[in-house]
Structure 1
């Protein structure tokens, strides 16, 4: 039977999503020092409470040494590493859930991408020591104790998500952050039990999944959602940190832990696939999912038509990222039968309705969009860039 956008979806543990649209996690550049939410954070998410049936927050670092990962000079990444963050997490969950949709907290550790620690003169932790040519600051190899502490921190952050009223958590194992760093043969050069063979490189992400599931089993209400986000491949020129064949093996092990969904992080769009086959990543990864684990795909969706194609032919849910930046009421319009009214591109006039944070405004009005994927119509707002957060020369070799 063909999947349709507006039908509800029941996840493995009983949570019911009102439609097949998810809001993809996207950094809002709105946090205060040490990862606390700002009023801008809350306003941005409150404006997107009807963007999707499943609302996934931006990444929150779970250990004090896990972030912030952000563009220097811009407002910081959000955090969930201490109980002091609970009040902000409660405000965030309430803002997202106010119209009856499900809110999921994405939890994360930045590893060597925790640029904020470098700026503060603190150790930046990496899976392995040595030189990383693409970094402009030194890193230190994690100790066994630090590895175990970070695993426990994912469990503690999950407990905070439960206490704050979130409906679930998404474990961030994609985009070159710590879980991917452990899985990658390029960044993981350890010779102890955490590195070496594929099985050993899988050990850390699976330990995180196990700890999160332990906390959920002990403390979460019925229907609490757990998902895992993964980049299907790590390929750079002639180097392969891992291929889709290896990540499929990791996902097969994750699925055995009884998660609700797997979320593929797809830079080139929901229909994309590896270079050596005509099959899409979605088709390949479905082979290792069981009947109860949903598949979320993402990428290049700015219309109801594209979203419908994504769930009809690729995933169980389609995560819309930039599309909800442009139109915060993406799913609401689909559900109301007004999908033809979805805004497909950004314009200066539309900015007032986006509830963007000042950090997002500055990022997307830059010529380079801070390395983010450009928005349709983005060139029309370039003249609005103020440069208030732009900083140069922070790191010098």
Structure 2
């Protein structure tokens, strides 16, 4: 039977989400210097409280040395490394859940990409002490004690998300942040139990996931959602990084931990796959997951037709990232038989309806910003 975008989806632990659409995590660059949400942040999420049945926050850094990553003139990445963030994330959860959506908080450590910490201290931490030409600060190797401390920080962040009223957490293991850095032979050149073989390189992301699940099993409601975000490949010209076969082995190990979902981060299109393969990334992972683990992905979804193709051939739920940036009511229009009214292109007129933060406006209006392009994006460039 063909799937519909309005189908409800029930996760392993029993919670049901309305519809097969979700809001993916996207940096708004709107936090305070110490990582708390601002009115700008809340306005952005308020405008998207109806866009899908499940909303995932932008990444929150779990350790003080793990962020901010990204950010800009008008705001920073959000944090969850201290109890003083509780009021911030409570307000975020309330705003996101006001129209019945499930709210998921994404937890992250930037590792060597903690550029805010690096700019302030002259160094950041990564799996190995390596010179990275694009960074203007040193990268120091994490000690074993620091690694265990960060693992505990992921657990503490999970407890704060539970206390704040979120319906779940997503572990950020993608986009070149710390969990992926441990997986990659480019950034991880350790010779101890945390590096070298694939088994050792997988150890850190798996230990983080186990700690998150331990805290969830101890403190959260039984239907609390736990997901993991992954980048399928990291391929460098010198042959370092990791392959789809490597990440698929990690997926098989994650599957043993019985997560609610796997979220695949795809820079291109949702149907993309490894070079030379007839299968997409999601189709490869599907074969490694049990039936109760839902498969989520993003990648170039700007229309209801594309979203429908995605959930019928490639995944269980599909995220509209740039699509929901352009039209915050994307999912609401789908659910109310108004899909033909979805706005697919940005314009100076539509910009007024997006409720972008100042940080997002700055990012997308600057030329050569390094972000995936928006349809008609040149119309709002400075």
For normalisation by structure 1, the TM-score amounts to 0.95
Q: Secondary structure at the match of 1:194?
A: coil
How far did residue 239 of structure 1 move? 2.5
How far did residue 74 of structure 1 move? 4.3
Match of 1:218 in 2: 218
Match of 1:374 in 2: 373
**Equivalences for residues 89-100 of structure 1 within 5 A:** 89-100=89-100
Q: Could you tell me how far apart the structure 1 residues matched to 2:293 and 2:22 are?
A: 15
Q: Which runs of 4+ in 1 moved over 6 A?
A: none
Q: Is the 8 A contact 1:3 1:316 kept in 2?
A: no
Q: Is the 8 A contact 1:72 1:116 kept in 2?
A: no
Q: Could you tell me how far apart the structure 1 residues matched to 2:273 and 2:240 are?
A: 16
How far did residue 23 of structure 1 move? 0.6
How far did residue 119 of structure 1 move? 1.5
Q: Does residue 1:190 correspond to 2:199, yes or no? A: no
Q: Could you tell me how far apart the structure 2 residues matched to 1:71 and 1:359 are?
A: 7
**Equivalences for residues 308-387 of structure 1 within 5 A:** 308-368=308-368, 370-383=369-382
How far did residue 382 of structure 1 move? 1.2
Q: Does residue 1:278 correspond to 2:298, yes or no? A: no
How far did residue 237 of structure 1 move? 2.6
How far did residue 156 of structure 1 move? 0.3
Q: Could you tell me how far apart the structure 2 residues matched to 1:207 and 1:239 are?
A: 27
Q: Is the 8 A contact 2:272 2:281 kept in 1?
A: yes
The number of residue pairs the alignment matches comes to 382
How far did residue 321 of structure 1 move? 0.4
Match of 1:389 in 2: none
How far did residue 123 of structure 1 move? 3.4
Cα RMSD of the aligned pairs, angstroms, is 1.0
Q: Is the 8 A contact 2:67 2:110 kept in 1?
A: yes
Match of 1:394 in 2: none
Aligned CA distance change for structure 1 residues 352 and 72 (closer, same or farther; 3 Å): closer
Match of 1:27 in 2: 27
Gaps of 5+ in 2: none
Q: Could you tell me how far apart the structure 1 residues matched to 2:79 and 2:71 are?
A: 15
How far did residue 136 of structure 1 move? 2.1
Q: Is the 8 A contact 2:266 2:299 kept in 1?
A: yes
**Equivalences for residues 42-121 of structure 1 within 5 A:** 42-121=42-121
Gaps of 5+ in 1: 384-397
1:56-79: per-residue Cα shift (whole Å, max 9, x none)?
Answer: 000000000000001453411000
Q: Is the 8 A contact 1:102 1:167 kept in 2?
A: yes
For normalisation by structure 2, the TM-score amounts to 0.98
1:69-111: per-residue Cα shift (whole Å, max 9, x none)?
Answer: 0145341100000000000100000000000010000000000
Which segment drifts farther, 232-241 or 293-302?
A: 232-241
Q: Could you tell me how far apart the structure 2 residues matched to 1:327 and 1:8 are?
A: 22
How far did residue 283 of structure 1 move? 0.9
Q: Secondary structure at the match of 1:104?
A: strand
Q: Secondary structure at the match of 1:291?
A: coil
Q: Could you tell me how far apart the structure 1 residues matched to 2:121 and 2:203 are?
A: 30
Match of 2:12 in 1: 12
Q: Secondary structure at the match of 1:33?
A: coil
Match of 1:242 in 2: 242
Q: Could you tell me how far apart the structure 1 residues matched to 2:234 and 2:270 are?
A: 17
Q: Could you tell me how far apart the structure 2 residues matched to 1:239 and 1:35 are?
A: 36
Q: Could you tell me how far apart the structure 2 residues matched to 1:213 and 1:72 are?
A: 33
Q: Could you tell me how far apart the structure 1 residues matched to 2:101 and 2:73 are?
A: 34
Q: Is the 8 A contact 2:81 2:157 kept in 1?
A: yes
Q: Could you tell me how far apart the structure 2 residues matched to 1:137 and 1:256 are?
A: 38
Match of 1:36 in 2: 36
Q: Could you tell me how far apart the structure 2 residues matched to 1:192 and 1:131 are?
A: 20
Q: Secondary structure at the match of 2:251?
A: helix
